Amino acid sequence: VVAQLMIEKEGSPRVIAHRGANEWYNESTITAYQIAAESGVDSLEIDLRMTRDGELIAMHDETIDRTTNGKGRVSDYTLKEIKTFRTLESNHSKVVTEEIPTLKEIIETFRDSQSYYIETRLVNGELAMEEKLIQLLEKYQLLEKNLVTIQSFSEESLLKIKELAPHTELALLFRKGSFSLEKASKVDFPIIGIESTDVTQKIVNELHKKGKEVHVYFIDRQTQKEEQERVMEYQVDGYFTDYIHFTKEILAI
Ligand code: G3P
Ligand code: CA
């Protein structure tokens, strides 16, 4: 039965460019997303943070310290202030390059030529991003064109998105070491995101039986390639990859 379910799943696994093509260029920049798009990925993965004046920008960390020439929390700056900082060429370099992009600027760069895999989070423990995000996606008609997946570690955030835009594809993420098969099987979201070291064949089979896709993310860059090969054997459905060419190569796509 499991084998049959797998055969019935259409197409190749999704290659999701984690924070853009961050293997070659600093993460979450327009350039990193352009390189990823040119590499032929299925989706651009974008982490959202909110500025003090409520603007959505692409940034993974709570602070701008690691990836820019500035310091401090995103939520302490207005967008105008955020725009005075410059991203670094790479995580190992102090060479400054471009501005921190807003989500709107990323969307205006790619419009409907790309699909987007956007991560929401609570802001100070509260729902804050969802309405603004949906308004933006609707403005560019990305939802009606089925070009967006919204992912979150916050079930509350996903439920809010479902309320605002019921047909949006949603992915519930589980933190490393906190995966619960019972919970993942029960929730009404079509995609479950799991950190690679928590993924087993049994989990993938069980979630496939429930009709869910399993998308795998990777925390440890050192072991990521071997982990990708390991979970590939389990027929997972998506890879949040830091190594785009490698992933496409092992999947032969
Ligand atoms: O969104 C999947 C993966 O990106 C989750 O981990 O910390 O890289 O956002 P993180
Ligand atoms: Ca993310």
Site to substitute for ligand 1 among 60, 117, 152, most atoms within 8 A of C-beta: 60
pLDDT for position 196: 98
User: Which tokens hold the place of 111?
Assistant: 């419009």
The CATH number of the domain holding residue 61 is 3.20.20.190
* Ligand 1 pocket, residue 47 CB under 6 Å: yes
Range of the domain at 71: 2-250
Q: Is the CB of 193 under 6 A from ligand 1?
A: yes
Buried-exposed string 134-161: b where 16+ CB fall within 10 A, e elsewhere: bebbeebebbeeebbbbbbbbeebbbbb
Would strands 213-217 and 43-50 be described as parallel, antiparallel, or unpaired?
Answer: unpaired
The closest residue, in CA terms, to atom 5 on ligand 1 is: 217
Q: What is the tally of structural domains in the chain? A: 1
The pLDDT score that the predictor gives to residue 6 is 42
| Per-position b or e across 42-55, b if 16+ CB within 10 A of its CB | bbbbbbbbbbeeeb
Q: Closest ligand 1 atom, CA of 193?
A: 2
The overall pTM is greater than 0.80: yes
Tell me what pLDDT residue 10 has.
Answer: 59
ipTM above 0.85, yes or no: yes
What pLDDT is recorded for position 9? 43
- State which H helix or E strand residue 116 sits in: strand 115-120
Q: Report the helix count and the strand count for the chain, using DSSP H and E.
A: 10, 9
Q: Which of 46, 48, 47, 20 is nearest to 34 (CA)?
A: 20
Residue 18 falls in the annotated catalytic set: yes
Annotated catalytic residue 245: no
pLDDT along the chain (253 residues), means of 10: 43 96 94 97 98 98 96 98 94 86 98 98 97 98 98 98 98 98 98 98 98 98 98 98 98 94
